[in-house]
A and B are shown apart, each in its own frame.
Chain A
């Protein structure tokens, strides 16, 4: 829960609510970009961000993203986050 995971922002889904689609280790999910918003949100597309419980908290460079992912995989944290994301998706349907 406490460690962020790098994700790449691939699409702005709702500019009013500052929501974007991020690719997190191959899984796509909607995240909030409120904390890293730029005047033109489209500037964020292609950027890497440290994503924490569904919020992009800090823009990082691609090299840092790769190093961080590797460290998180070592800690088992990347897998845990992906599982939590899947749990979250089934929680919406009430199928847990």
Chain B
């Protein structure tokens, strides 16, 4: 338990870990027959590795790293479309920095920028709006990306652009939603999942009820969790209690931030601006019904797909992933990052081949960053 001392509250962490140990024994879970707990959110994946939670918890618990990093699940074809838009001379293409290094078929946004495209890293869609105001002669396109946490910010920006009648602002919409991929994973007969740790900041927007189906239809426990190491440990304990007691409920460990019914202003903006796409492609998971959002026709003037004639509806879309990339298998928990033949050789954070290596929230990058060091530390101990 040497890492526990790094925690803000090591005494509390030790107590929770001891309780986890006890419940794991009561359940009878072992290294050979572990309980599989999926953390959905990439922020949680990052925290689990950063704080070594997977090593602190008993062997009877196996963490499965879910599809909750929006950069990681973005298919190559969407990056290709970004590059296509960004390379138009009249366009200023605005993106979150996280997406810059994701490889496309031809190039990443980083490479396109080096080749002369006017691509700018912004912190907020509000920055893109301001760039549009300051550059009325240019077309400013914002790369809308992310789950329900970022979705309302793009929606509110589109509403603002509409109020100001900005004519040179549009959004390339890649917003995705958490519940459909979870349903897809639960429907997959190869997946073994005993419970979930739910994404805290997504839930701040959507509340806890969108997860009801996990408990009611599939009979699996889910606990919405915060981002402190102690939050995560407590949530794991709550999941284990449910498993031991044969319960399947939606519980909220992060109630200090997550309201049961979400944020009404955000939800109204989402409803006003977007509608579900019939289907959306996820890297590693393929097409998932109603898992992506598109801009409603009333805001068509702000939809970059309409304006530039790219995206869904503009021809064949499926692009195969790079040779040897096992991102899909890692994301569905079938193999560990180290099981990918490219891990650490053909694929590193500096030269990522697959998306899970790009963002610090991707399982492979987290594994690479913390896993390797920890093993070395253990070796010298």
Residue numbers of A with Cβ under 8 A of B are: 1-4, 17, 29-32, 34-37, 50, 52-55, 57-58, 60-61, 64, 67-68, 70-72, 74-77, 80-81, 83-85, 87-89, 91-92, 94, 96
Verify A67–B8 contact, CB threshold 8 A.
yes
Cβ distance A35 to chain B, nearest Cβ, rounded Å: 5
Pair A92/B121 contact, Cβ less than 8 Å: no
C-alpha spacing A33/B168, complex, angstroms: 24
A35-B159 Cα distance, complex, nearest whole Å: 13
Residues of chain B touching chain A, judged by Cβ–Cβ distance below 8 Å, are 8, 41-43, 46-47, 50-51, 68-71, 94, 96-98, 118, 120-127, 130-131, 134, 145-147, 149-150, 152-153, 156, 160, 201, 204-205, 226-229, 231, 256-257, 259, 263, 265-266, 269, 360-361
Q: Contact at B152–A35, with CB atoms within 8 Å? A: yes
The contact sample of 17 A-B pairs, CB cut-off 8 A, is A34-B269, A35-B265, A36-B265, A52-B150, A53-B125, A53-B146, A54-B124, A55-B153, A57-B152, A60-B256, A60-B257, A68-B227, A71-B227, A71-B228, A71-B229, A74-B50, A77-B43
> Are the CB atoms of B43 and A2 closer together than 8 Å?
yes
| In the bound complex, CA of A61 to CA of B94 (Å) | 33
Q: Is the CB of A88 within 8 A of B127?
A: yes
| Other-chain contact of B69, A2, A35, A68, A80 (Cβ < 8 Å) | A2
> Nearest CB to that of B51 among chain A residues?
A74
Closest Cβ of chain B: how far from A92's Cβ, in Å? 6
A87-B149 in contact given A2-B70, A72-B227 (Cβ < 8 Å): no
Q: Top 3 closest A-B pairs, CB basis?
A: A54-B124, A88-B123, A91-B120
Expressed in whole angstroms, the Cα–Cα distance for A35 and B152 within the complex equals 9
Give the docked Cα–Cα distance between A92 and B162 (Å). 20
Whole-angstrom distance between the Cβ of A61 and the nearest chain B Cβ? 8
What are the residues of chain A within 8 A of B201 when measuring CB–CB?
A: 2-4, 50, 52, 57
Among residues of A, the one whose C-beta sits closest to the C-beta of B156 is A34
Q: Tell me the bound Cα distance from A31 to B256 in angstroms.
A: 22
Q: Is B124's CB under 8 angstroms from A1's CB?
A: no
Q: Give A16's nearest chain B residue, CB to CB.
A: B163
Check B149–A91 contact: CB distance below 8 A: no
Closest Cβ–Cβ distance, residue A60 to chain B (whole Å): 6
